[in-house]
Amino acid sequence: MTAHADLLRDYRSAFLRHLSRHEESSLTAGYQLGRGALAAGQSLLEVVRVHHEVLVEVLVDGPADEVPEVARAASDFLTEVLASYDMARRG
């Protein structure tokens, strides 16, 4: 598998878990995912691209009335995933 495919698989799994639970543990999984991606040298743009791919999959497969809830959960999750990138930038 490629680094992109690995990140996509792991991101999908963690994000779907977050959508079903909305718990601190699922946000922590997102944070750990971001730390791992940063440590592996994956760019911020690659992580955002993967987030978008997974979000589109969820939105296409889900009911329209759940879009606002999914969007809020996606924002919370992405914020956690990108926290490591923000800390690294701040030095």
CATH number of the domain bearing residue 50: 1.10.1240
pTM: 0.93
pLDDT digits (tens, 9 = 90+) for 43-77: 999 999 999 999 999 999 999 999 999 999 999 99
pLDDT digits (tens, 9 = 90+) for 2-58: 989 999 999 999 999 999 988 999 999 999 999 999 999 999 999 999 999 999 999
| Sequence-separated (6 or more) residues with CB below 8 Å from residue 76 | 18, 27
Q: How many domains does the chain have?
A: 1
Please give the residue range of the domain that contains residue 30. Answer: 3-90
Cα separation of 62 and 10, whole Å? 20
